[in-house]
Homo-oligomer: A and B are copies of this chain.
Amino acid sequence: MTDHAPGPRDRLIAIALDLIDRDHPEDLSLREVARRAGLTSGAPAHHFGNKMGLLVACAEVAWKDLSLAMEGTDIDATPAEAIFHKARAYIGFALAKPGPYRLLMSRRFVDKSEFAVLSTWRMRAVQGVVDQVERALGPSDDHKFPYRRSVAMWSLLHGFVTLNLNEAISADMRDALIAEICECAVQVALSPAQSP
Contacting A163 at CB < 8 Å: which of B158, B167, B177, B188? B158
- Chain A positions 149 through 170: 1 when the CB is less than 8 Å from some CB of chain B, otherwise 0: 1011011111110110011110
Q: Looking at chain A's contact residues, is the secondary structure mostly helix, strand, loop, or mixed?
A: helix
List B contacts of A18 (CB < 8 A): none
Q: Are B105 and A168 in contact (CB under 8 A)?
A: yes
Which residue on B lies nearest to A189, using beta carbons?
B184
Q: Are A155 and B163 in contact (CB under 8 A)?
A: yes
- Chain A positions 164 through 196: 1 when the CB is less than 8 Å from some CB of chain B, otherwise 0: 001111000100110011011001100100100
List B contacts of A188 (CB < 8 A): 156, 184, 187-188
Stretch at the interface among A38-46, A51-59, A62-70, A106-114: A106-114
List B contacts of A22 (CB < 8 A): none
A148 near B: Cβ within 8 Å? yes
Q: Are B162 and A105 in contact (CB under 8 A)?
A: yes
Task: Give, as a whole number of angstroms, the nearest-CB distance from A77 to chain B.
Answer: 16
A36 near B: Cβ within 8 Å? no
The 9 closest A-B pairs by CB, nearest first: A159-B159, A155-B159, A155-B160, A158-B159, A148-B180, A107-B166, A156-B156, A152-B184, A184-B188
**A interface residues (Cβ-Cβ under 8 A, vs B):** 24, 26, 105-108, 112, 144, 148-149, 151-152, 154-160, 162-163, 166-169, 173, 176-177, 180-181, 183-184, 187-188, 191, 194
